[in-house]
Amino acid sequence: MLVKDAHDLAESPHILRVASSISTVTFSAYGLVVADMHGSVHVLNKEFEPVSSWVAHVGGRVTHMVEKRGYLVTLGVCVLLLSLVSIV
């Protein structure tokens, strides 16, 4: 089965088309969590469609992520920042 973009079935999902901007990936109970070089975090469902997205680090990029018990902790650079959010 090929994964398709929800808005353009002829294409792969947008987040995967710009793979060079992906900075880190982790798995969670809620789906695949992808962070990009622009400081944004995206939770993708099993069809790789975005379920939730937000900016974790303004003006920086996410370098590390870990999820435990519904909380996602991210580390980012520009100035070292720490973000803690609930993804429940």
| 3-class state of residue 21 by DSSP | helix
In a domain, 72, yes or no: yes
Asked if residues 30 and 68 have their Cβ atoms less than 8 Å apart, the reply is no
Region 18-35: mean pLDDT is 88
Number of independent structural domains in the chain: 1
In a domain, 43, yes or no: yes
Comparison of pLDDT for 19 and 75, the residue scoring more: 75
Closest CA to 33 of 59, 2, 56: 56
Distance CA(16)–CA(34), nearest Å, equals 10
List the domain range (segments joined by +) for residue 49. 14-86
Q: What is the CATH number of the domain that holds 54?
A: 2.40.10
pLDDT digit string, tens, across residues 32-73: 999 988 888 888 888 787 888 888 888 788 899 999 888 899
Strand stretches in the chain, DSSP E: 22-28, 31-36, 40-44, 50-55, 61-68, 71-77, 81-86
pLDDT of residue 26: 94
Give the confidence band of 88 by pLDDT, cuts at 50, 70, 90. Answer: low
Q: Percent of the chain beyond pLDDT 70?
A: 74
